[in-house]
Structure 1
């Protein structure tokens, strides 16, 4: 694995997700243009922002669960089969809870 410890990487990811979610919430709460045509476009943009907010919130929950597993001592173990999650997978997706095999099974 790289030189960044899992806890540090997960904390960085959590902060990124929190920052992203806060920025999106600010955008969603901002004043709307009084022009009707502009409001229609803004509503479409808001739909996209809500989708991005949901992704950020889901990502933050996954990171928090990974931090809990780290604290419990089960980080890096597949929550389905109990086998180790590969280092390359954890490096690419630090909040991974499933090994590649179980993740593939879940997708099918």
Structure 2
């Protein structure tokens, strides 16, 4: 099994960045609505967009955490479908990959 310390470092850095971004979005979503109806409509539309972004961020955070667990338990880099090794190039391009290029 290959050494994935460099990929783990990149994943941890990305995870930290995403967690900070998610926190900012959640703070924005918690703000109270203004009394002005027009501004409320704009705020609600913005909140819906932020919720969509937050969902995408949370999904990526989850995928990164799973990848880090696979690195820790020694299954990282093994295709979840065929059991073959996932190429280093693929893992560097998409570190959360769980399938080799043939099974993707």
User: What is the TM-score when the length of structure 2 is the normalising length?
Assistant: 0.89
1:1-108 pair list within 5 angstroms: 5-103=6-104
Quote the Cα distance in structure 2 between the aligned partners of 1:13 and 1:72: 20
Offset, 1:33: 2.2
Structure 1: 4+ residue segments shifted above 6 A: none
- CA-atom RMSD in angstroms: 1.3
- Runs (5+) with no aligned partner, structure 2: none
CA distance in 1, matches of 2:14, 2:81: 24
Which stretches in structure 1 are left out of the alignment for 5+ residues? 104-108
User: What is the CA–CA distance in structure 1 between the aligned matches of 2:72 and 2:62, rounded to whole Å?
Assistant: 15
Q: How many positions carry a matched residue from both structures?
A: 100
